[in-house]
Amino acid sequence: MCGRFTLTTPNLEELVPEFVAELGAEAARLYRPRWNVAPTNVHPVLKVQDGVTRLVPARFGVEASGGRFVINARSETAAELRTFRHSFQEARCVVLADGFYEWQGGRGERRPLWFHDPAGGLLFFAGLSFKNHDAHAFVILTAPANDLVSPVHSRMPALLSRDAVRAWLARPDQGLLASAPNGALASREVSSLVNDVANDGPELLDAPVPTRQLTLV
Protein backbone atom coordinates (compact mmCIF):
# COMPACT_ATOMS: atom_id res chain seq x y z
CA MET A 1 0.00 0.00 0.00
CA CYS A 2 1.04 3.60 -0.43
CA GLY A 3 -1.03 6.20 1.39
CA ARG A 4 1.52 8.88 2.27
CA PHE A 5 4.59 10.11 0.46
CA THR A 6 6.91 13.07 -0.06
CA LEU A 7 8.10 15.35 -2.85
CA THR A 8 10.39 17.97 -1.39
CA THR A 9 11.87 19.36 -4.62
CA PRO A 10 11.87 23.15 -4.18
CA ASN A 11 11.34 23.98 -7.84
CA LEU A 12 9.07 21.89 -10.05
CA GLU A 13 10.50 23.53 -13.18
CA GLU A 14 13.80 21.73 -12.55
CA LEU A 15 12.13 18.37 -13.25
CA VAL A 16 10.64 19.28 -16.61
CA PRO A 17 13.75 19.16 -18.86
CA GLU A 18 14.62 15.66 -17.65
CA PHE A 19 11.37 14.28 -19.07
CA VAL A 20 11.13 16.63 -22.05
CA ALA A 21 7.79 17.57 -20.57
CA GLU A 22 5.64 20.66 -20.45
CA LEU A 23 4.79 22.19 -17.09
CA GLY A 24 1.15 23.18 -17.01
CA ALA A 25 0.43 26.62 -15.58
CA GLU A 26 -1.97 25.16 -13.01
CA ALA A 27 0.59 22.59 -11.82
CA ALA A 28 3.19 25.33 -11.38
CA ARG A 29 0.74 27.55 -9.50
CA LEU A 30 -0.39 24.84 -7.09
CA TYR A 31 2.94 23.22 -6.41
CA ARG A 32 4.84 23.48 -3.14
CA PRO A 33 7.29 21.05 -1.54
CA ARG A 34 5.42 18.46 0.52
CA TRP A 35 6.59 16.20 3.35
CA ASN A 36 3.23 14.52 3.95
CA VAL A 37 1.18 14.05 0.77
CA ALA A 38 -2.05 12.29 1.77
CA PRO A 39 -5.25 11.11 0.04
CA THR A 40 -7.36 13.92 -1.47
CA ASN A 41 -4.28 16.19 -1.72
CA VAL A 42 -3.43 17.63 -5.14
CA HIS A 43 -0.07 16.48 -6.49
CA PRO A 44 1.75 16.77 -9.85
CA VAL A 45 1.80 13.71 -12.11
CA LEU A 46 3.35 13.04 -15.51
CA LYS A 47 0.89 12.03 -18.21
CA VAL A 48 0.52 12.19 -21.96
CA GLN A 49 -2.11 14.59 -23.29
CA ASP A 50 -2.67 14.96 -27.04
CA GLY A 51 0.69 13.36 -27.69
CA VAL A 52 2.56 15.70 -25.31
CA THR A 53 4.03 14.69 -21.94
CA ARG A 54 2.90 17.17 -19.31
CA LEU A 55 3.11 17.68 -15.57
CA VAL A 56 -0.45 18.25 -14.41
CA PRO A 57 -2.06 18.60 -10.98
CA ALA A 58 -4.25 15.69 -9.88
CA ARG A 59 -6.07 14.63 -6.75
CA PHE A 60 -4.73 11.59 -4.92
CA GLY A 61 -7.59 9.08 -4.92
CA VAL A 62 -10.77 8.38 -6.87
CA GLU A 63 -14.36 7.40 -6.10
CA ALA A 64 -15.07 3.81 -7.10
CA SER A 65 -18.27 1.79 -7.26
CA GLY A 66 -20.23 1.50 -4.05
CA GLY A 67 -18.99 4.86 -2.80
CA ARG A 68 -15.51 3.58 -1.98
CA PHE A 69 -12.61 6.03 -2.09
CA VAL A 70 -9.61 4.27 -3.63
CA ILE A 71 -5.97 5.37 -3.55
CA ASN A 72 -4.15 2.20 -4.71
CA ALA A 73 -4.62 -0.53 -7.30
CA ARG A 74 -2.86 -3.88 -7.36
CA SER A 75 -0.57 -4.05 -10.39
CA GLU A 76 -1.37 -7.74 -10.91
CA THR A 77 -5.13 -7.20 -11.41
CA ALA A 78 -5.67 -3.54 -12.39
CA ALA A 79 -5.85 -4.34 -16.10
CA GLU A 80 -8.82 -6.64 -15.48
CA LEU A 81 -10.94 -4.75 -12.96
CA ARG A 82 -13.74 -2.49 -14.19
CA THR A 83 -12.66 0.43 -12.01
CA PHE A 84 -9.14 0.51 -13.44
CA ARG A 85 -8.96 -1.25 -16.79
CA HIS A 86 -9.73 1.77 -19.00
CA SER A 87 -7.09 3.88 -17.25
CA PHE A 88 -4.62 0.98 -17.41
CA GLN A 89 -5.02 0.86 -21.18
CA GLU A 90 -5.50 4.54 -22.00
CA ALA A 91 -4.57 6.85 -19.10
CA ARG A 92 -1.41 5.78 -17.31
CA CYS A 93 0.59 8.32 -15.34
CA VAL A 94 3.77 8.58 -13.29
CA VAL A 95 3.65 9.99 -9.78
CA LEU A 96 6.79 11.90 -8.82
CA ALA A 97 8.04 11.44 -5.25
CA ASP A 98 11.24 11.29 -3.26
CA GLY A 99 10.01 8.94 -0.54
CA PHE A 100 7.03 7.16 0.99
CA TYR A 101 5.97 6.18 4.50
CA GLU A 102 5.00 2.95 6.17
CA TRP A 103 4.50 2.28 9.86
CA GLN A 104 5.78 -0.19 12.42
CA GLY A 105 4.42 -0.87 15.89
CA GLY A 106 0.94 -1.58 17.19
CA ARG A 107 -2.07 0.64 17.71
CA GLY A 108 -1.18 3.68 19.81
CA GLU A 109 2.54 3.36 19.16
CA ARG A 110 2.79 3.65 15.37
CA ARG A 111 6.30 4.67 14.37
CA PRO A 112 6.76 5.94 10.80
CA LEU A 113 9.51 4.77 8.49
CA TRP A 114 10.53 6.81 5.46
CA PHE A 115 11.60 4.79 2.41
CA HIS A 116 13.68 6.71 -0.11
CA ASP A 117 16.35 6.53 -2.78
CA PRO A 118 19.74 5.91 -1.07
CA ALA A 119 21.30 8.70 -3.14
CA GLY A 120 18.49 11.15 -2.46
CA GLY A 121 17.06 11.07 -5.98
CA LEU A 122 13.51 10.92 -7.27
CA LEU A 123 11.20 7.93 -7.12
CA PHE A 124 8.75 7.20 -9.94
CA PHE A 125 5.50 5.48 -8.93
CA ALA A 126 3.49 3.85 -11.70
CA GLY A 127 -0.01 5.29 -11.56
CA LEU A 128 -3.38 5.40 -13.26
CA SER A 129 -5.04 8.66 -14.16
CA PHE A 130 -8.75 9.50 -14.13
CA LYS A 131 -10.69 12.56 -15.21
CA ASN A 132 -13.96 13.93 -13.88
CA HIS A 133 -15.08 16.96 -15.85
CA ASP A 134 -11.96 19.19 -15.87
CA ALA A 135 -10.32 17.71 -12.76
CA HIS A 136 -7.64 15.01 -12.82
CA ALA A 137 -7.19 12.30 -10.20
CA PHE A 138 -4.82 9.36 -9.78
CA VAL A 139 -4.19 6.13 -7.93
CA ILE A 140 -0.82 4.51 -7.27
CA LEU A 141 -0.19 0.99 -8.50
CA THR A 142 1.29 -1.37 -5.92
CA ALA A 143 3.49 -4.45 -6.19
CA PRO A 144 4.61 -7.08 -3.67
CA ALA A 145 6.99 -5.60 -1.12
CA ASN A 146 10.71 -6.26 -1.47
CA ASP A 147 12.88 -7.50 1.39
CA LEU A 148 13.30 -4.01 2.88
CA VAL A 149 9.58 -3.14 3.01
CA SER A 150 8.05 -6.57 3.70
CA PRO A 151 8.71 -6.57 7.47
CA VAL A 152 6.23 -3.68 7.83
CA HIS A 153 3.88 -4.14 4.85
CA SER A 154 3.18 -6.74 2.19
CA ARG A 155 2.75 -4.14 -0.59
CA MET A 156 4.70 -1.14 -1.85
CA PRO A 157 4.44 1.33 -4.74
CA ALA A 158 5.31 -0.13 -8.14
CA LEU A 159 8.57 1.73 -8.73
CA LEU A 160 9.65 2.50 -12.27
CA SER A 161 13.27 2.91 -13.21
CA ARG A 162 14.20 6.25 -14.76
CA ASP A 163 14.43 4.54 -18.15
CA ALA A 164 10.99 2.93 -17.73
CA VAL A 165 9.10 6.18 -17.13
CA ARG A 166 8.52 6.90 -20.83
CA ALA A 167 7.84 3.25 -21.56
CA TRP A 168 5.03 3.15 -18.98
CA LEU A 169 3.49 6.34 -20.36
CA ALA A 170 3.67 4.90 -23.87
CA ARG A 171 2.22 1.43 -23.36
CA PRO A 172 0.40 -0.70 -20.73
CA ASP A 173 3.30 -3.08 -20.13
CA GLN A 174 2.65 -5.29 -17.10
CA GLY A 175 6.31 -6.30 -17.16
CA LEU A 176 7.33 -2.81 -16.01
CA LEU A 177 5.48 -3.27 -12.71
CA ALA A 178 7.75 -5.76 -10.96
CA SER A 179 8.78 -5.38 -7.33
CA ALA A 180 11.62 -2.95 -6.69
CA PRO A 181 15.00 -4.72 -6.54
CA ASN A 182 16.70 -4.99 -3.19
CA GLY A 183 19.08 -2.09 -2.77
CA ALA A 184 16.83 0.34 -4.65
CA LEU A 185 15.64 1.90 -1.39
CA ALA A 186 16.90 2.85 2.04
CA SER A 187 14.77 3.49 5.13
CA ARG A 188 14.97 5.27 8.44
CA GLU A 189 12.63 6.02 11.30
CA VAL A 190 11.35 9.60 11.31
CA SER A 191 9.30 11.90 13.51
CA SER A 192 5.88 10.78 14.74
CA LEU A 193 4.62 14.15 13.46
CA VAL A 194 4.04 12.25 10.20
CA ASN A 195 1.12 10.45 11.86
CA ASP A 196 -1.07 13.55 11.61
CA VAL A 197 -1.89 14.53 8.02
CA ALA A 198 -2.22 18.14 9.15
CA ASN A 199 1.53 18.29 9.76
CA ASP A 200 3.71 19.13 6.77
CA GLY A 201 7.27 20.44 6.92
CA PRO A 202 10.93 19.35 6.81
CA GLU A 203 10.85 18.53 10.53
CA LEU A 204 8.78 15.44 9.67
CA LEU A 205 11.97 13.78 8.41
CA ASP A 206 13.85 14.46 11.65
CA ALA A 207 14.86 11.51 13.79
CA PRO A 208 12.18 10.52 16.32
CA VAL A 209 12.33 12.04 19.77
CA PRO A 210 13.54 9.37 22.22
CA THR A 211 10.87 8.08 24.59
CA ARG A 212 11.41 9.62 27.99
CA GLN A 213 11.97 7.05 30.70
CA LEU A 214 10.91 7.59 34.29
CA THR A 215 13.55 7.09 36.98
CA LEU A 216 12.55 5.73 40.36
CA VAL A 217 14.25 7.41 43.34
**Distance between first and last Cα of the chain:** 46
Letter for the amino acid at 59?
R
Q: Are 34 and 57 in contact (CB under 8 A)?
A: no
Give me the average pLDDT of each 10-residue run along the chain (217 residues).
93 84 88 97 94 94 89 96 96 97 86 96 96 88 96 96 94 93 95 96 93 54
pLDDT in tens, 43-56: 999 999 889 999 99
Domains recognised in the chain with CATH numbers = 5-205 (3.90.1680.10)
Output Rg (C-alpha) for the chain, integer angstroms: 18
How far apart are the C-alpha atoms of 87 and 93, rounded to whole Å? 9
> pLDDT tens for residues 175-190?
999 888 989 999 999 9
- 95, 43 contact by CB (below 8 A): yes
Element (H, E) at 172: none
Q: Provide the 10 A C-beta neighbour count for residue 78.
A: 23
User: Model's pTM, two decimal places?
Assistant: 0.93
Phi, psi of 15 (to 5 degrees): -85, -20
